[in-house]
Amino acid sequence: MLRDCRDRRRNFVRGLPARFSRFRMFAAVPALVVLLAGALSSGCRHSEEPVSREELGLFDTLIEIRAYGKNAKKAVNQAFDEFRRLHNLLNAYDPNSEISKVNSNAGRAPVKVSSDTLEVVDRALYFARISGGAFDPTVLPLAKLWNVGAENPRVPEEEDIRNALALVDYRKVLVDRENSTIFLEVPGMGLDLGAIAKGYAVDKAVSVLRKNGVNSFLINAGGNVYVSGKKPGETLWRVGITDPLADPSGTETYLGIFTGTDISVVSSGDYQRYFEVNGVRYHHILDPKTGYPAKNLKGTTVIGVSSTDCDGLSTTLFVVGVDKGKEILSAFPGVGAIFVKADGSIEMTPNLKDKVKLER
Binding site for ligand AMP (CB under 6 A): 24, 135-137, 139, 143, 192, 194-195, 223, 268, 284-286, 288, 311, 314-315, 319
Nearer to Mg ion, 198 or 230 (CB): 198
Which residue number is nearest to Mg ion in terms of Cβ? Answer: 315
Contact window for Mg ion (CB under 5 A) among 21-29, 60-68, 314-322, 344-352 = 314-322
Return the bridge partners of 176, or none: 181
104-123 binders of Mg ion (CB under 5 A): none
Nearer to ligand AMP, 67 or 225 (CB): 225
190-249 binders of Mg ion (CB under 5 A): 195
Q: Tell me which amino acid residue 255 is.
A: L
Shortest Cβ distance from residue 24 to ligand AMP (Å)?
4
Kind of pairing between the strands at 254-260 and 280-283? unpaired
Which residue number is nearest to ligand AMP in terms of Cβ? Answer: 194
Edge-to-edge strand list for the sheet holding 111-112: 111-112, 181-184, 173-176
Shortest Cβ distance from residue 344 to ligand AMP (Å)?
19
Nearer to Mg ion, 216 or 267 (CB): 267
Asked whether position 60 contacts Mg ion by CB under 5 A, the answer is no
Q: Which residues contact 8 (CB under 8 A, 6 or more apart)?
A: 28, 29, 248, 249, 271
Q: Which residues of 146-167 are buried (b: 16+ CB within 10 A; e: fewer)?
A: bbbbbeebebbeeeebebbbeb
Shortest Cβ distance from residue 42 to Mg ion (Å)?
34
Nearer to Mg ion, 50 or 222 (CB): 222
Q: Which long-range contacts (CB under 8 A, 24 or more apart) does 128-134 make?
A: 128/170, 129/170, 130/316, 130/328, 130/331, 131/316, 131/319, 131/320, 131/324, 131/328, 133/169, 133/170, 133/288, 133/289, 134/287, 134/288, 134/289, 134/316, 134/319, 134/320, 134/324
Shortest Cβ distance from residue 29 to ligand AMP (Å)?
11
Asked whether position 128 contacts Mg ion by CB under 5 A, the answer is no
- Cβ(269)–Cβ(246) below 8 Å: no
Asked whether position 311 contacts Mg ion by CB under 5 A, the answer is yes
229 binds, among ligand AMP, Mg ion, none (CB under 5 to 8 A by kind): none
Residues in touch with Mg ion (CB under 5 A) = 195, 311, 314-315
